Amino acid sequence: MTPAASRAWAVAGVASAAVLGPTAWSYLASAGRRSGPGRVPVRPVAIVLGAAAWPTGPSPLLEGRLDVAAQLFHEGTVRALLVSGDNRPESNRETDTMAAGLAERGVPEDAVVADPHGYRTWDTAVRARETFGIDRAIVVTQAFHLPRAVALCRAAGVDAYGVGDSSFRRRPRSTALGYLREMGASTKAMADAVLQPSPAVVEPPRGDLRAILS
């Protein structure tokens, strides 16, 4: 093998490690903690992660998350739901949309608390712990996002298990792209877990979720 070829293989190896290493971290950090409804331990609250909201209502991926969250509530696996997303007008008010969607699924309004500043998964995880006082939870998202979401919640101090909506039948193309995007997103997630940055919005502790669970 020529020196140039050796260098090319070395660069390829480093690049592969840079991509695959963080992905492996997310799967290892969430191992044994990803399952379906009915196969996760009882927890006080489910953290429902936001996804795109459309002017007409939840996107198909967000619909899947709401279906899972409502099932967990109705089965008695959780007693409260924290919906976390970007509630700014330009994002079509994700958490308002999520709360309305859960109400349509028979979840009582007083069992739902909104975090309107869950702009990304790390922000949601940190705010769940520091702002809403959550130390044990079930995380609800798509299956492709679940390893990273559970790993980040655990890094933020939340004893988290996760339930994922498979979403493949609902949105096969978006699901396939989601798995591809996770390889890059896991790199940022691992950096967040190590560096522990503050979320975009820091607030004093709130008591509304504690009031539901008391």
Residue 159, CA distances (Å) to 37, 90, 109, 134, 137 in order: 17, 32, 25, 9, 6
Q: What is the pLDDT of residues 26-79, one digit of tens each?
A: 999 999 999 888 889 999 999 999 999 999 999 999 999 999 999 999 999 999
What is the rounded distance in angstroms from the CA atom of residue 93 to the CA atom of residue 116? 8
Q: Which residues pair with 114 in a beta bridge?
A: 83
Domain positions in the chain? 26-207
Of 15 and 130, the structure prediction assigns the larger pLDDT to 130
In CATH, what is the architecture of 26-207? 3-Layer(aba) Sandwich (3.40)
Q: What is the pLDDT of residues 127-137, one digit of tens each?
A: 999 999 999 99
> Are 59 and 86 contacting, i.e. CB atoms less than 8 angstroms apart?
no
Q: How many Å is the Cα radius of gyration of the chain?
A: 18
C-alpha 194, offset from chain centre: 18
Full-model pTM? 0.89
Give the residue-averaged pLDDT of 114-138.
Answer: 98
Secondary structure of residue 115 in the 3-state scheme: strand
What is the rounded distance in angstroms from the CA atom of residue 193 to the CA atom of residue 22? 11
- DSSP letter, residue 80: E
